[in-house]
């Protein structure tokens, strides 16, 4: 089964801001591979929530995996020291909202 992979705005920004081009490529490749295997070796479930952490050298990717709709959302991607103080509950709530927006049919967009 193939999963659809989305990037949050924060993850996109953090990947672009990585100083080493090689690190950016490694992270993008690892996230793309999540479409085939959303829980590869080295991926760990974070305590008391639906988030997962993937180690890629000194960098980490925090993602939300929804097996019901086969979606992986890359929420954050940065050097491990920058992800120490992340509010995981807030991150999980934002991920759920992002998934609902992505999967909502075009004609049913909420009004602003």
Annotate 23-60 with b (16+ C-beta within 10 A) or e (fewer). Answer: bbeebeebbeebeeebeeeebeeeeeeebbbbebeebb
Q: Which tens digits make up the pLDDT trace of 17-67? A: 888 888 889 999 999 999 999 999 889 998 777 788 888 888 888 888 888
Domain ranges within the chain, ordered by starting residue: 4-100
**Does residue 49 contact residue 29 with C-beta atoms inside 8 Å?**
no
4-100: in CATH 3.30.2310.20: yes
Per-residue confidence at 84, pLDDT binned at 50, 70, 90? low
**Does residue 35 contact residue 47 with C-beta atoms inside 8 Å?**
no
Indicate the DSSP class of residue 19: S
């Amino acid at each position: 089964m193939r999963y659809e992979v989305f990037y949050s705005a924060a993850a996109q920004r953090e990947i672009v801001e990585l100083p080493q081009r090689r690190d950016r490529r490694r992270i993008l490749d690892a996230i793309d591979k999540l479409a085939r295997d959303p829980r590869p070796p080295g991926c760990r479930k974070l305590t008391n929530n639906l988030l997962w952490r993937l180690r890629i050298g000194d960098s980490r990717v925090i993602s939300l995996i929804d097996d019901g709709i086969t979606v992986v959302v890359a929420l954050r991607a940065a050097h491990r020291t920058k992800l120490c103080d992340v509010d995981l509950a807030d991150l999980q709530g934002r991920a759920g909202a992002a998934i609902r927006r992505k999967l909502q049919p075009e004609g049913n967009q909420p009004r602003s």
